[in-house]
Amino acid sequence: MALPPPDPRFVLRGTSAAVHTLHFSCGGQDPDIPILFSGSENGFIHVWNLKTHRVDTALDGHGRKSVYCVETMGAKDRLLSQGRDQRICLWDLAEGRTSVTDSVFTEHVGFCRFSLLEVAQGRWLMAMAARGLEEVQVLELPSKTSVCTLKPEVGARLGMPMCLKLWQLGCGSQPLLLAGYEDGSVVFWNVTMGKALSQLVCHQEPVMSLDFDSEKAKGVSGSSEKVLSIWSLNEQQNLQVR
């Protein structure tokens, strides 16, 4: 029998709405105490001080539409957030600022969260679900230049992308993407070539989340059927169930 979960060290209250996403950042003044960002159903992003257990700042930039993804860009002062208003916002939080400095209109009405990858100093790639039903768009930030649009082969019938994971083997190597789709498949993409290298049906229901360890070449995905699937990427760049 599994052991019961431990009691919480503390409970944070004060969002006034359901919390849909959380993100820790260790770029604060005290490296031993991370900052916590939370995105809520009411459209607010709260910046939590885990030393005082209180909200330091509340950010409002999504027109009171639900926020379902937040992630810092290297440091705590630059934040990306994604909301149901179909926008991904870039925030400048330096020196107490709380302003949206730029945004990207996604034209996508689903719940697929963007994925971020730093490929060079000050240069990032961002993958997001595109306007086309089965498409994934990759942009370069901060320029917002389109790198590619990843389109499955005609007749593939994967459905919408549900979750994304950008990664690379090492600094300077080509960017790669794992995408989970509505039909239960995980697809491995070469971003530079704009080509799908491998596909694996992992679930009978849509893939709701996935993660990948590039050092061990192993990944895990979860679906709405409440099943976790563990898979790997072999030397021939083929996905296979463990």
Q: Give this prediction's pTM.
A: 0.92
Provide CATH 2.40.10.480 ranges for the chain. 9-105
Smallest CA-to-CA distance from 177 within 185, 165, 186, 169 is with: 165
Query: pLDDT averaged over the chain?
Result: 93
pLDDT value of residue 81: 98
Q: Give residues with Cβ within 8 angstroms of 33, minimum separation 6.
A: 50, 51
Which token pair is 153? Answer: 């082969």
User: Is the CATH number of domain 9-105 2.40.10.480?
Assistant: yes
Task: Decide if 80 contacts 87 (C-beta within 8 A).
Answer: no
* Other CB atoms within 10 A of residue 11 CB: 6
Please answer whether residues 142 and 102 qualify as being in contact, where contact means their C-beta atoms are separated by less than 8 angstroms: yes
Would you say 221 and 204 are in contact if contact means Cβ atoms under 8 Å apart? no
- What average pLDDT does range 44-63 have in this prediction? 95
Q: Look at residue 27 in the predicted model and tell me its pLDDT.
A: 65
The ranges of the chain annotated as CATH 2.130.10.10 are 109-242
Q: What is the pLDDT of residues 224-233, one digit of tens each?
A: 888 899 999 9
Q: Which CATH superfamily is domain 109-242 in?
A: YVTN repeat-like/Quinoprotein amine dehydrogenase (2.130.10.10)
